[in-house]
């Protein structure tokens, strides 16, 4: 299997080609772990770098993310059989009152691409629902998205809800969305702010690797 061809297909957002190439790799008995890491995650890393450097923009990134997701979907059922452990678990959603989901979906897709187990609980999510879901699935990370200046305070409300329920320290809370900034993250005592989906996935992965290392 030539991963360069699969990488190019992902970078160009060619869903059909990605599906064909992933199926071909499986027929050739390429280990699922290699398909995931070298064939699907590595090219999304390149896409993420290109996006962060303004060499490509949201439409191209969405197309690549969709192509990558199509590939991940094919091998997903084989993960458990081949012993790939998800790096960690994330609960992500758009805060209450806010219906924007394109950015949140991109973050979820990139995190899945980085090998994380992502529960997307949707848009207009009530504060307590984030806590409930995080507790239910034993999440490591809670990711909050807000696109309106009027819904940014809901981020603070969610964090307060975690505090009120006495479980704030259990979770790494990441926040983002166009109006959100590092200064706001500091103000509401979020654990992390990043400005785009690629750096969000990168941060989540690094955080989880460190957490795993600290436990070992």
Which residue, 22 or 143, is less far from ligand B12 as judged by CB? Answer: 143
Pairwise CA distance, residues 146 & 156, whole Å: 11
Binding mask 43-72 for ligand B12 (x = CB under 6 A): ---------------x--------------
- In the region spanning residues 104 to 123, those forming contacts with ligand B12, defined by CB under 6 A, are 104, 106-107
Which residue, 5 or 102, is less far from ligand B12 as judged by CB? Answer: 102
Q: Nearest to residue 1, comparing CAs of 33, 29, 37?
A: 29
- In the region spanning residues 129 to 168, those forming contacts with ligand B12, defined by CB under 6 A, are 143-145, 147-150
Pairwise CA distance, residues 61 & 197, whole Å: 10
Which residue, 1 or 87, is less far from ligand B12 as judged by CB? Answer: 87
Measuring CA to CA, how many Å separate 170 from each of 8, 103, 125?
39, 25, 20
Centre a 10 Å sphere on the Cβ of residue 29 and count the other Cβ atoms it contains: 8
Which residue, 6 or 107, is less far from ligand B12 as judged by CB? Answer: 107
Burial of 30 (0-12, 13-18, 19+ CB in 10 A): middle
State the residues that interact with ligand B12 by CB under 6 A.
Answer: 58, 97-104, 106-107, 143-145, 147-150, 174-179, 194, 196-197, 200
């Amino acid at each position: 299997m030539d991963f360069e061809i699969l990488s190019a297909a992902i970078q160009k957002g060619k869903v059909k080609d990605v599906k064909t190439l992933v199926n071909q790799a499986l027929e050739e008995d390429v280990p699922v772990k290699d398909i995931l890491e070298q064939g699907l995650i590595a090219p999304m890393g390149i896409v993420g770098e290109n996006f962060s450097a303004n060499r490509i923009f949201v439409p191209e990134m969405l197309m690549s993310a969709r192509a990558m997701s199509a590939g991940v979907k094919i091998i997903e059922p084989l993960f458990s059989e081949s012993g790939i452990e998800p790096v960690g678990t994330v609960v992500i959603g758009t805060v209450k009152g806010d219906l924007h989901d394109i950015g949140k979906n991109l973050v979820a897709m990139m995190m899945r691409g980085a090998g994380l187990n992502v529960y997307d609980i949707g848009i207009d999510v009530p504060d307590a629902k984030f806590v409930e879901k995080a507790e239910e699935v034993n999440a490591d990370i809670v990711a909050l998205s807000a696109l309106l200046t009027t819904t940014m305070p809901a981020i603070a409300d969610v964090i307060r809800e975690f505090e009120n329920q006495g479980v704030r320290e259990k979770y790494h809370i990441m926040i983002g969305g166009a109006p959100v900034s590092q200064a706001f993250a500091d103000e509401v005592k979020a654990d992390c702010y990043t400005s785009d989906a690629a750096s969000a996935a990168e941060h989540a992965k690094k955080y989880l690797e460190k957490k795993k290392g600290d436990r070992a």
